[in-house]
Amino acid sequence: MNRLSGYRSVWLVVILPLLTACSPADQPEAGFAGLGAQLEGRSEEGPDFLQPAPGDRVSLPRDLGPHPQHRFEWWYLTANLTTSEGVPLGLQWTQFRQALQPRSPEQAPPPADEWPLQSAWMANAAISYQGEHVFQEKLARGDIGHAGARAEPFQVWLDDWRIASLVAEGEDSDHERWALSVNTRDWHYDLELSPRRDPVKHGKKGFALKSETGQASMYFSYVDLAISGTVTIAGKTHRVAGEGWFDREWSSQFLQAEQEGWDWMALHLDSGDKLMVYRLRKQDGSSFRFGTWIPRRGKPRALRGDQLTFEVAGSRQTELAEVPVEWRVRVPLAEVDIRVEALPGNYWNRGVFPYWESPVRVWGSHQGRGYLELTGYGDTE
């Protein structure tokens, strides 16, 4: 799904100190425009970033790996798990790459001992358990091995956090399994993930629009992952099992200036169907809506804005902002009319750019659970 708007701010925070550290006298303005100008300036000097185009296709396993010609991309997992005691536990892991200059996949990266800075990486992870929400974030420079991604065998890492294929080379990759390991001082988790159905390509074979004027990203998801493993939090280790949703997305286009944030949700319905919807909010109150209906059987169907409604049904006051935590979502063509609500608690991911990421429950025409992500509600934008 799309995190473009928010992460431009994330990267602003990440990149600005670097740029200013390199040239103390040259202080860009602290704003998106400042970052944009820097990046545009660079792209004018060298080759341009590759833009997603309507004819682009997703190719696997290649596209599980990095896209150095594109400006940014991410690998993103949300999981709705249950402990062996039957208590719900939400979990999230994300890793981002932001390029400062494009590079073709054939071109070798600069030597690591030059400490190049062609790209920067960020990983963050959170656990939501019994109303508590813990979060941590890490940063690294690319091309030296500190952080990176590889398509085959699949691996994405930063420090000792990593997700990696458990299928050895030459083994049958139809039964892909991944191991995800995240360690912090206070909590950690080790999970095994197995996709139960083929990846879903959003939009037109993976080309997913982000605005009426054609901004887009390449976007596909593993919408049904079987997950099991252990989660240690507050000094106690829990055996957990459940289902997860894994997104892969890359692009080179920032959102339009008037788009101020987005609301996104990925839902596992008890019927076995899956639903992903998002809307990009504009300052004038309008929004660009998009989604994918994934029936238990049959082909996924891309949803245009006029094929779904997506309305706030309730808010929660938090220390950073009033957050729309309850939603009414209707997809008439799939006879879906549901309420989606964040579980009780405070789910701000307070990293360099705070955003809301919470497990949700679903009721109405369908029951279920899933994840809700909201950006642009804090005062940081």
Partner 1 sequence: MKLLPALLSHYRRHPLQLIALVVIVVLATGLWTGVWELTRQARHSMEQSEQAIASRYQVVRTDAQPVTVADFVGLRRQGLCVTPWLEVRRPAPEGQVIGVDILSMGCFQEQGEMASPPDLNQAPFVDIGEAVRIAGQGHDSRLRLLVASAGAAVPDAYRIRPVPGGLSTGELADSFLLNLDALCVLVLLITALLVRSVYNLGLVQRRSSLALLLRYGVPAGRLRLYLIGELAVLAMLAAVPGVMLGRFLSQAFAAGFGQAMGGLFDVSLYAGGNQWISYLLALLAVFLVVIWCALDALGLAFAKGQTSRPGARFYGMFAVVLILAGVTGTVLSQALWQVFVAVSLVLVGTGLLTPGVLSRLVDWLAVRGGSPLILWSRRELAVMLRRLALPAVALQLAVATVIAIQALVATFESTFLDWLEQRLQGDVYIEVPAGASLRPALDYLAEAPEVTAWHRVQRGVASLGGRRADLLALDPGSELLQAWAFIEAVPEPWSALAGGGVMVNEQLARRENLEPGDVLSFSIANASMRRPIVAVYADYGRPVDEILLPHSALPDIFTPTFSSLSVQIAQNDVPVLRQQLTERWQVKNLTLRDNDQVRQLARGVFEQTFSLTRAISVLTLILAGCALFLMGWVFFTARHWYYQLLQVWGLSRRELRWRLQLQATGLTLLVAIAALPPGIFLTWVLVARINPLAFGWSLPMAVYPLFWLEMLAICGAIGLAIAWLVQGTIKSRAPAPLAATHIEGAER
Residue selected from 26, 44, 85, 113 as contacting partner 1 according to rule CB under 8 A? 113
159 binds partner 1 (CB under 8 A): yes
Residue selected from 137, 190, 192, 326 as contacting partner 1 according to rule CB under 8 A? 137
Q: If you ran DSSP here, which 8-state letter would residue 31 be given?
A: S
Nearest to 254 by CA among 32, 26, 21, 16: 32
Q: Residue 42 phi/psi, 5° resolution?
A: -65, -40
Residue 108, class by beta-carbon neighbours within 10 Å (0-12 exposed, 13-18 middle, 19+ buried)?
exposed
Residues 60, 64, 65, CA angle at the centre, nearest 5°?
115
17 binds partner 1 (CB under 8 A): yes
Residues 122, 123, 124, CA angle at the centre, nearest 5°?
125
Count of beta carbons in the 10 Å neighbourhood of residue 270 = 10
Nearest to 215 by CA among 121, 307, 265, 282: 282
By CB under 8 A, the residues from 291 to 350 that bind partner 1 are none
Could you tell me the smallest distance in angstroms from the CB atom of residue 138 to partner 1?
A: 6
Binding region for partner 1 (CB under 8 A) out of 12-20, 101-109, 245-253, 278-286: 12-20
Residue selected from 48, 114, 171, 212 as contacting partner 1 according to rule CB under 8 A? 114
**Closer residue to partner 1 in complex, CB, 24/55:** 24
183 binds partner 1 (CB under 8 A): yes
**Could you tell me how many residues of this chain bind partner 1 (CB under 8 A)?**
29
**Closer residue to partner 1 in complex, CB, 111/314:** 111
- C-alpha to C-alpha distance for 381 and 125, rounded to whole angstroms: 21
14 binds partner 1 (CB under 8 A): yes
144 binds partner 1 (CB under 8 A): yes
**Closer residue to partner 1 in complex, CB, 148/199:** 148
> In angstroms, how far apart are the furthest CA atoms of the chain?
60
Residues binding partner 1 (CB under 8 A) = 14, 17-18, 20-22, 24, 112-117, 120-121, 136-141, 144-146, 157, 159-160, 183, 185
